[in-house]
């Protein structure tokens, strides 16, 4: 009798484990088809879709959780984490891992993704003049952009913490973070605007002319100056981010430690390098790697300001141009993989630092 009861319970668990997910799929697929073929007004359709999204996710998790609750305790503890983490992992796999693998696959084919060409696209990326120029420009962004953002952010964080108008200063410097890179590109395009003659509507050229100088076409100057003028926009936007993070880290330094160092005769410069920098080294690394990732995937500013002209192309703009304008899926996919490979070491460093600090 006990054996039959166990078999019956196992069969019941198997049935609900299959039927409940299948029922969820059938119901939500039916709702999707309804919305797809619906003739309802767009606004009403949108409201119902939002409600479906919220209630649908709740119903899926609730039903899956109910199924797991039917299992014995020893299995329940093992399975329950997968109920909550599993859908997110599957979604990330579908949206991130699968496209990455497909992009890697396409990078070994020609422009039309028909003929296998092996590593020819990768060789071309590191030999073609235009693609080498994009890689060089990305290195300029990584070096000068990251160095300036981190240095200025750290300097401003220290100075602002000692000023009587700390909140105002930090608010003004952090303000550019509130706008997108596209909006920043439009703003700075007017600042750098150039037209022949003495009448200038661009802010920078108006100032130059006011002091008796000659207006310049800042964005079409010889290398590397026009790239540096574009990098200035990144610095304007990301310095506030670095400043806020550094300021929070500096405030967490025990005041007793700083006071003890001052009583022992240590100057402020020595305190900065011997106490502050080691204490916030983890934060320093995190901010640096985060800004490096920003600079590696920079796209918006270059596209808005120059469209990649005047030798200002970066890897992301060349990827866009090769894939969507020239219809060269081989080059485009290869550039995307090169960018991914460049970002991976930065992510690994961040994860190691996170693990060292007990994040996981």
Q: How far apart are CA 175 and CA 218, in angstroms?
A: 25
pLDDT value of position 60: 84
Least confident of 109-118, 140-149, 161-170: 161-170
pTM score? 0.78
- Judged against a pLDDT cut of 90, whether residue 352 lies above it is answered with no
Q: Which two tokens stand for residue 162?
A: 């000692």
Listed as own residue / partner, the contacts of 69-78 with beta carbons closer than 8 Å and 24 or more positions apart are 70/12, 70/13, 70/16, 71/13
Q: How far apart are CA 154 and CA 149, in angstroms?
A: 8
- Judged against a pLDDT cut of 80, whether residue 355 lies above it is answered with no
Check residue 199 and give left, alpha or beta (phi > 0: left; psi -120 to 50: alpha): beta
Q: Which two tokens stand for residue 310?
A: 């005047």
Residue for token pair 């992510």: 347
Q: How far apart are CA 75 and CA 149, in angstroms?
A: 51
Q: Which two tokens stand for residue 45?
A: 């359709």
- Determine what percent of the chain is predicted with pLDDT higher than 70: 97
- Determine what percent of the chain is predicted with pLDDT higher than 90: 12
Task: Give per-residue pLDDT as tens, 189-217.
Answer: 888 888 877 777 888 888 888 888 888 88
State the Cα angle at 294 between 223 and 151, rounded to 5°: 75
Does the N-terminal peptide bond of residue 224 adopt cis geometry, omega within 30 degrees of 0? yes
Task: Find the length of the chain.
Answer: 360
- Which structural domains are found in the chain, ordered by start? 1-118 (no CATH), 120-357 (1.10.3720.10)
- Contacts with 298 (C-beta within 8 Å, 6 or more apart), sequence order: 138, 141, 234, 314, 316
pLDDT value of position 79: 80
Tell me what the mean pLDDT of segment 35-53 comes to: 84
Q: With bands split at pLDDT 50, 70 and 90, how would you rate the model's confidence at 325?
A: confident
Task: Give per-residue pLDDT as tens, 128-161.
Answer: 888 888 888 999 999 999 999 999 999 998 888 8
Q: Which two tokens stand for residue 225?
A: 């100056």
Backbone angles phi, psi at 178, to 5 degrees: -80, -10
């Amino acid at each position: 009798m006990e054996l039959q009861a166990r078999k019956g319970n196992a069969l019941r668990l198997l049935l609900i484990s299959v039927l409940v997910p299948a029922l969820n799929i059938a119901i939500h697929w039916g709702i999707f088809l309804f919305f797809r073929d619906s003739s309802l007004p767009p606004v009403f359709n949108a409201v119902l879709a939002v409600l479906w999204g919220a209630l649908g996710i709740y119903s899926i998790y609730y039903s899956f959780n109910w199924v797991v609750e039917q299992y014995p305790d020893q299995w329940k503890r093992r399975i329950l984490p997968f109920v909550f983490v599993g859908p997110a992992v599957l979604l990330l796999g579908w949206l991130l891992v699968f496209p990455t693998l497909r992009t890697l696959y396409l990078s070994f084919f020609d422009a039309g993704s028909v003929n296998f060409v092996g590593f020819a696209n990768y060789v071309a990326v590191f030999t073609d003049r235009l693609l080498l120029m994009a890689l060089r420009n990305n290195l300029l962004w990584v070096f000068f952009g990251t160095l300036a953002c981190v240095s200025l952010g750290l300097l401003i964080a220290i100075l602002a913490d000692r000023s009587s108008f700390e909140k105002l200063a930090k608010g003004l410097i952090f303000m550019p973070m509130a706008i997108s890179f596209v909006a920043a590109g439009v703003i700075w395009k007017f600042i750098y605007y150039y037209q022949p003659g003495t009448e200038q509507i661009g802010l920078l050229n108006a100032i130059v002319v006011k002091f008796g100088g000659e207006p310049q076409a800042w964005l079409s100057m010889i290398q590397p100056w026009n790239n540096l003028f574009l990098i200035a926009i990144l610095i304007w936007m990301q310095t506030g981010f670095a400043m806020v993070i550094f300021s929070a880290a500096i405030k967490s330094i025990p005041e007793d430690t700083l006071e003890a160092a001052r009583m022992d005769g240590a100057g402020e410069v020595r305190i900065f390098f011997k106490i502050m920098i080691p204490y916030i080294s983890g934060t320093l690394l995190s901010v640096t790697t985060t800004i490096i990732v920003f600079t590696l995937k920079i796209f918006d500013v270059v596209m808005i300001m120059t469209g990649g002209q005047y030798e200002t192309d970066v890897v992301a703009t060349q990827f866009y141009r090769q894939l969507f304008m020239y219809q060269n899926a081989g080059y485009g996919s290869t550039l995307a993989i090169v960018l991914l490979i460049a970002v991976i070491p930065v992510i690994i460093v961040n994860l190691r630092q996170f693990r060292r600090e007990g994040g996981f």
